Amino acid sequence: METFNNFLGGTAALFGDPMGVLIFFGGVIGGMLFGAIPGVSMLTLAAILLPFTAHLSAEHGIMLFSVIYCTGVYGGAITAILFNIPGAPENAPTAFDGYPMTLQGKAGKAVGAAVMCSAIGGVVSCIIMMIATAPIADWAISAFGPPEIFALVFFGLAVAASVGAKTFWKGWLSIMIGLMIAVVGLDPVGGIERYNFDMPYLAAGIHFIPTILGFFAVSEIFVQAEKKATGSYTAPKLSVDFPTFKELWAHKIAVVRSIIIGFFCGILPGIGATLAAFMGYNEAARWSKDRMEFGKGKLEGVISSETANNAATGAAMIPLLALGLPGGALTAMMVGVFQMHDMEPGPLVFINSPDLVWVVFAAMFFANVSILLVGFLEAKTIVNLLRIPFQFLAPMILLLATVGAYAVRGLTIDVVVMFVAGVAGFFLRRSGYSVAGIVLGLILGKIGEQTFAQAMQMLHFEFTGFFNRPIALGLLIAGALTILGSIYGAFFKKQPVPASDN
Amino acid sequence: MNFKKYFVKSSVAVAVVAAATFSAGAALAECASDALPGEMAKPDGYPARALTMVVPYGPAGGSGQVAQAMAKAVSDLTGVSINRDHKPGGSGTVGMTAYMATPADGYTVLEHIDDAASAHALDSGRPNPSEALIPLVTSQITFSQIYIRTDEDRYTDWASFVDWVKAQDGKATIANVSKEGSMERVTMKFITDATGMQIQQISFDKGAPRYGALAGGQVDALFEQPGDVRKFLDAGKFKPILTILKEAPEAFADVPSLTDAGLDFEPLLRFRGFYVKAGTPDDRVAWLQWAFQKAFCEDSYQQYNESKFMNLIDSFRDTDGSKELITSTIAQYRDVYKQMGLEIK
């Protein structure tokens, strides 16, 4: 009851203040737009706005960022679905099925599902956040140390190997390529330079954003350009048919599963929405009867990915607000907003600034609700981008992707990496490898290597130490069984039908 | 939100605020660069456009924040805008390399930390910040501490911690940034050599998982600078058990210093400062030195430094002071690296 009263108080404070309302809707629309423009993301908007938050009150500044977070994660799904360009890494799995749906003339259904599921995932995670922030945060950091996070990553990779590639072996090879790219740069523990060929810029490692832009956006333009040149190009059919309630209800289990996965990944410091989306998608594929249909334009793929990444938004606020531990780039910027107002997120915020906390909670709740309202309106409009002929759209996408790749770190090498990934992706996709697997290997490889090294240090370099940690052991066993199961399938079952080249 | 009001509810914080206020008063009364003139004519119209500040770390970390605070203070003082260009990666190497490729015209300045000095100490091919660059100001100097959880009952202070660690036979753990040759690893070597204890260092390169590891009980202790864990100190979650300075500053008077703990080594400091490329015209350097040193005493910057515990020891060095600090730091690291058997290029 007290929670509900606090929520009402936060809502009243949010909508009773004209400036607050203005900032709220500015954040909702800004997050969606920046999320939806290929090449830029909610992080770009947040970085631009960060210095200006000094002129806002602490409540308004933090509320603005949390609203951008919720709607930006959704906004990135639009370009993933329409153009195979994930607005952010957490939208990458949305493209696996969303883009094939667009090619099949079902863009409206995919976008509609993204709107609905983002809102559902976000709202549920907001409610859990409001009810139990402090105990969940404490549990997450005591139960999940580096060994558990490594085991989670291992499990994630084991499952991912079966997604998107033509064969089991190509799936694993794709993951391995990603893992190899992940080791370029400084080693995460000793800081020793590896595979950078004495190039100082490569010492910073290969960033996953230019890699994603290359593998997804640039290679897709090459694929379409080839079709255009060979006369086999057909423009994607425009559709604004949103999914029916019945269609969505059929995937209720996938939604619930993705909420649980998304929320769980979101509360782990340093993990965040990207792993949530990949895990949500992988688990949906794993438990589905039509597993081989994933990657070819299955609505459930979009649903599971978008539910999970928005479910992670509320969850990521838990370690941030309760402990002052940001889970990803945007929550780290929120720490900056707090500090600009001489505050630190953490336990004291609940004691000293309960009003602020509840305004932020209410704003996040309503931001997710407004994804439904504003999102549908935006989706109806933005789907019309598909009317632009390919020869005009492709250069625009390339330009925006180039800007997006450069903007991450202000390094020209990131643009080079994007184009190299684009060319490599073009050939790898033709050969039945999974670019999604490569990207996942890259993202999880960095987290996995670091947590494995930390786990080994903690366990005194004895691998058997994992056996004394039940959660880690459980995840490792589940991962190993998954691998064994897929090896069995690869040898003893009929080879799967080739999946889409996505 | 008012800074003092924010801390007033915590009993630990009251003492902190008192100490901070005292120092702030002292700082305002005799701030390091007060003697500099309030205005300085622009040499031949320089700067005619906005400056760029290369920051070799992300916007949310300590370097990103100090860059923002200093850029604001300089802009407020001079009316010249400063755009921050974050180039994170490679422990500051990427930003430094990118900066060294810019023209020496005074329009691009660099923020960097003591890692630039230790990197040069290990590999003389890396730029020496006191020669390849001209330090404009060092605006943050701080020290490290060892922290434990406040509710820890296996040990409660430095002496009991050392005893407990020794009894674990090398199985005790401490979270830090234990990269090869880093300030943290070198300091931990000093401590373990001096106490005879063996402790496993767990390397976390990002702050959040590092602090989470101590808060969640994944590690037994944490090596960090007080400004970075201030929220945990004010919330009563962490407590310092050793200050890695010869003498404890007033705000941590009840925490043993190296001298109190009987540890005899020269502590390494963490420092952050601002630089311009060597070869920049002298009149432009002089104007930048004035702007950055004077900005250190701007209220907004002083307030920021206080909030980060950067006022507990003298945080200011002008150009000559910075060169001295960098040169002595490089010499100190070289000595230690030789003792550690590291290959110095």
Q: Which of A80-84, A162-166, B285-289, B310-314 has the largest mean confidence? A: B285-289
Cα separation, A309 vs A263, in Å, equals 8
B262 domain residue, yes or no: no
The tokens describing A352, both together, are 């000293």
Q: Which residues of A touch B85 (CB under 8 A)?
A: 410
Residues B179 and B229 in one domain: yes
Residue B12 has pLDDT above 90, yes or no: no
Cα separation, A454 vs A464, in Å, equals 15
Residues B175 and B219 in one domain: yes
Residue of A nearest to B94 (CA): A201
Residue of B nearest to A201 (CA): B94
What confidence category does residue B9 fall into, taking pLDDT thresholds of 50, 70 and 90? very low
Cα separation, A158 vs A282, in Å, equals 10
Please give the DSSP secondary-structure letter assigned to residue B36.
S
Cβ–Cβ under 8 Å, residues B32 and B297: yes
The tokens describing B27, both together, are 């700082």
A497 domain residue, yes or no: no
Residues B212 and B115 in one domain: no
What residues make up the domain containing A88? 2-492
Cβ–Cβ under 8 Å, residues B300 and B73: yes
A500 domain residue, yes or no: no
Task: Kindly provide the ipTM of the predicted complex, given to two decimals.
Answer: 0.78
Tell whether A490 lies on the interface with B, counting CB pairs under 8 A.
Answer: no
Domain limit, last residue, from B252, B277, B297: B252
Residues B276 and B135 in one domain: yes
What confidence category does residue A271 fall into, taking pLDDT thresholds of 50, 70 and 90? low
Confidence at residue B19, expressed as pLDDT on a 0 to 100 scale: 39
Helices (H) and strands (E) in chain B, counts: 12, 10
Residue A164 has pLDDT above 80, yes or no: no
Q: Which residues of A touch B229 (CB under 8 A)?
A: none
A499 domain residue, yes or no: no
B162 domain residue, yes or no: yes
The DSSP bridge partners found for residue B174 are B201, B221
Sign of the Cα pseudo-torsion (B224, B226, B230, B233, in order) = positive
The DSSP bridge partners found for residue B146 are B223, B242
What residues make up the domain containing B124? 31-142+269-340
Cβ–Cβ under 8 Å, residues B293 and B318: yes
Report the SS3 class of residue B198.
Answer: coil
Residue B27 has pLDDT above 70, yes or no: no
B260 domain residue, yes or no: no
Residue B32: phi and psi, rounded to 5, are: -55, -40
B257 domain residue, yes or no: no
Cα separation, A251 vs A296, in Å, equals 17
Tell whether A420 lies on the interface with B, counting CB pairs under 8 A.
Answer: no
Domain count, chain A: 1
Do B231 and A346 make contact, defined as CB atoms within 8 angstroms?
yes
Supply the CATH number for residue B315's domain.
3.40.190.150
B248 domain residue, yes or no: yes
Residues B53 and B126 in one domain: yes
Confidence at residue B23, expressed as pLDDT on a 0 to 100 scale: 41
Mean pLDDT to the nearest integer, B74-89 = 87
A501 domain residue, yes or no: no
Confidence at residue A426, expressed as pLDDT on a 0 to 100 scale: 92
Residues B116 and B58 in one domain: yes
CB-based contacts of B192, cutoff 8 Å, min separation 6: B198, B199
Query: Number of CB pairs < 8 Å for A and B?
Result: 163
Q: Which residues of A touch B219 (CB under 8 A)?
A: 458
pLDDT in tens, A190-207: 778 888 888 878 888 888
The label of the residue with tokens 């490594």 reads: A150
What confidence category does residue A239 fall into, taking pLDDT thresholds of 50, 70 and 90? low
Task: For residue A460, give the nearest of B85, B200, B237 by CB distance.
Answer: B200
Cβ–Cβ under 8 Å, residues A270 and A474: no
Residue B289 has pLDDT above 50, yes or no: yes
A458 domain residue, yes or no: yes
Domain count, chain B: 3
Q: Which pairing describes strands B51-55 and B108-113: parallel, antiparallel, or unpaired? A: parallel
Mean pLDDT to the nearest integer, A472-476 = 92
Do A348 and B234 make contact, defined as CB atoms within 8 angstroms?
yes
Residues B162 and B172 in one domain: yes
For every residue of B275-337, DSSP letters joined together read EEETTS-HHHHHHHHHHHHHHHTSHHHHHHHHHTTTTSS---B-HHHHHHHHHHHHHHHHHHH
Give the C-alpha distances (Å, rounded to integers) separating B185 from A68, B199, B294, B340.
39, 12, 35, 11
Residue B47: phi and psi, rounded to 5, are: -85, 135
- Lowest mean pLDDT segment, chosen from A68-77, A156-165, A173-182, B151-160: A156-165
Cα separation, A114 vs A102, in Å, equals 13
Task: For residue A58, give the nearest of B1, B87, B173 by CB distance.
Answer: B1
- Lowest mean pLDDT segment, chosen from A32-36, A46-50, A145-149, A357-361: A46-50
pLDDT, averaged across chain A: 82
Residues B189 and B94 in one domain: no
Q: Which residues of B touch A189 (CB under 8 A)?
A: 178-179, 203
Tell me which H or E stretch contains B142: strand B133-142
Residue A232: phi and psi, rounded to 5, are: -100, 10
Residue B67: phi and psi, rounded to 5, are: -60, -40
